[in-house]
């Protein structure tokens, strides 16, 4: 009989993908501040976002990274934009890829959304270039 408290295979795959994209340091920091209150949410996003969607074989991590940044920029999710721009060091999405994605955001979601996301991306790229991003 299997242990009902053991992580599911989808969770294990999700955690592996999450670590591959965001990096061990980010995931470890997130887990270290997780509480009983947000643990169910962390499990949900690990299984659903990372284990189901990001782990699908049809698109590369680079492609998913580009689409994710564009969607987050369009939604005005600043912290998530920054996190996923940092993750491009692991996904293979280039600065040119991000520029192209944000041009699409400007046309399809609005210039202000793209303009703000461009500022965030430039700041993250400056941190990466300075060796500050982890």
Of 52, 49, 41, 44, the closest CA to residue 10 belongs to: 52
pLDDT, tens digit (0-9, with 9 covering 90-100), for 96-111: 999 999 999 999 999 9
Phi, psi of 5 (to 5 degrees): -90, -5
Residue ranges of the domains in the chain?
8-58, 59-134
This prediction's pTM: 0.91
Mean pLDDT across 51-59: 97
For the domain made up of 59-134, give the CATH fold. Answer: AhpD-like (1.20.1290)
pLDDT, tens digit (0-9, with 9 covering 90-100), for 4-42: 678 899 999 999 999 999 999 999 999 999 999 999 999
Whether 1 shows a pLDDT value over 70: the answer reads no
**pLDDT at residue 7, as a whole number:** 86
């Amino acid at each position: 009989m299997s242990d009902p408290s053991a992580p599911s295979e989808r969770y294990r795959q999700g955690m592996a993908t999450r670590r591959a994209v965001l990096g061990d340091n980010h995931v470890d920091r997130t887990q270290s501040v997780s509480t009983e209150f947000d643990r169910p949410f962390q499990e949900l996003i690990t299984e659903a976002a990372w284990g189901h969607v990001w782990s699908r074989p049809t698109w590369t991590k680079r492609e998913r990274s580009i689409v994710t940044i564009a969607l987050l920029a369009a939604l005005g999710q600043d912290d998530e934009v920054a996190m996923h721009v940092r993750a491009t060091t692991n996904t293979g999405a280039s600065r040119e890829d991000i520029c192209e994605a944000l041009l699409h955001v400007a046309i399809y979601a609005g210039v202000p959304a793209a303009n703000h996301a461009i500022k965030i991306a430039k700041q993250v790229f400056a941190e990466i270039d300075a060796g500050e991003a982890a």
